[in-house]
């Protein structure tokens, strides 16, 4: 039985970065291969992992709906899905990537989504860990991928609007009746430099932490608001210029050094939650 980690949140808060660094952590700690599921229509996880050539599960779904022309005689829809997903599963060093692709078009998708969910559940069981990058609406978790999650990390940026969106995601988990064992809030894209007024009051030990780039500032008012929304803060991941540089160079975050600010933060987060 695999351990499933889902990451969700609105665009631009660092959720795909978090998902990719979780995969990096698991591989570095001997848990390969990891199944990475990119369930965001923008396929940002694939980009961060430097995977360029891939097909999507969405294409498989459309092929099944167009079964008159796509499925060979004597092959069931379930067998066809199995064969096609093996084709769209991208293998890489330490992980395999499954890109879900664009949302559904017109037509009835219930039957094919049930087939997809069943097969992806079976596929996931052959991995120790599954990491899923999801949109805020949790569309794929509710319809096409597994509904069973060990840890859900709801990602927000350090803003009131971000926390409120995270709260809505948290409420949606209950509304969709997803089987989520643990759920936490992670604040992404946090600033590293503390306000000058706080730095002046810092102790020698605190200043050393600041110098090591591990002192992150999130206003206590936001932490309080998150708690009021039923969100437990598990970690803070800083904005990291190295990740921006890697993205521009089309390099994989797997190659980030251990001195990366975001890598350090995610490593500590993972030690705390698994």
How far, CA to CA in Å, does 207 sit from each of 42, 192, 194, 197, 214?
39, 12, 10, 13, 10
Q: What is the pLDDT of residues 120-138, one digit of tens each?
A: 888 899 999 999 998 766 7
> Is the separation of the CB atoms in 35 and 49 below 8 Å?
no
Give this prediction's pTM.
Answer: 0.86
| Domains of the chain, start order | 3-273 (3.40.50.300)
Distance CA 135, CA 99 (A): 13
Distance CA 115, CA 158 (A): 39
3-state secondary structure of 136: coil
Torsion of CA 38, 242, 234, 156, to 10 degrees: -60
- Which residues are 134's β-sheet partners? 39
Q: What is the pLDDT of residues 10-60, one digit of tens each?
A: 888 999 999 999 999 999 999 999 999 998 877 899 999 999 989 888 888
- Greatest mean pLDDT range, 31-35, 148-152, 203-207: 31-35
> Is the separation of the CB atoms in 96 and 87 below 8 Å?
no
Residue 216: predicted pLDDT? 56
Mean pLDDT of 240-261: 93
Distance CA 204, CA 79 (A): 64
Residue 129: predicted pLDDT? 98
In this structure, the number of other CB atoms found within 10 A of the CB of residue 231 comes to: 21
Q: What are phi and psi of 69, to 5 degrees?
A: -100, -20
Residue 149: predicted pLDDT? 92
Residue 224: predicted pLDDT? 87
Residue 260: predicted pLDDT? 93
Burial tier of 133 (Cβ tally within 10 Å: 0-12, 13-18, 19+):
buried
The secondary structure element, H or E, covering residue 154 is: strand 148-156
pLDDT over 70 at 247, yes or no: yes
């Amino acid at each position: 039985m695999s351990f499933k980690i889902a990451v969700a949140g609105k665009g631009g808060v660092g959720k795909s970065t978090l998902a990719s660094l979780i995969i990096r952590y698991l591989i570095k700690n001997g848990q390969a291969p990891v199944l990475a599921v990119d369930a965001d229509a923008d396929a940002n996880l694939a980009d961060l992992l430097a995977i360029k050539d891939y097909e999507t599960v969405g294409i498989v779904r459309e092929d099944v709906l167009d079964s008159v022309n796509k499925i060979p005689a004597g092959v069931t829809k379930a067998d066809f899905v199995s064969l096609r997903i093996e084709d769209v599963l991208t293998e890489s060093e330490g992980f395999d990537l499954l890109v879900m692709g664009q949302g559904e078009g017109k037509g009835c998708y219930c039957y094919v989504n049930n087939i997809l969910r069943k097969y992806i559940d079976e596929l996931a069981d052959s991995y120790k860990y599954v990491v899923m990058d999801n949109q805020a609406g949790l569309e794929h978790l509710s319809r096409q991928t597994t509904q069973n999650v060990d840890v859900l990390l709801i990602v927000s940026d350090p803003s009131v609007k971000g926390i409120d969106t995270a709260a809505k995601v948290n409420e949606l988990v209950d509304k969709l009746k997803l089987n989520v064992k643990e759920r936490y809030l992670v604040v992404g894209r946090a600033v590293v430099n503390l306000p000058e007024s706080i730095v002046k009051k810092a102790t020698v030990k605190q200043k050393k932490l600041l110098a090591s780039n591990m002192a992150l500032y999130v206003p206590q008012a936001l932490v309080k608001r998150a708690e009021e929304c039923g969100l437990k803060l598990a970690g803070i991941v800083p904005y990291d210029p190295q990740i921006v540089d890697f993205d521009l160079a089309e390099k994989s975050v797997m190659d980030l050094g251990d001195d990366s600010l975001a890598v350090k933060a995610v490593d500590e987060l993972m030690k705390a939650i698994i």
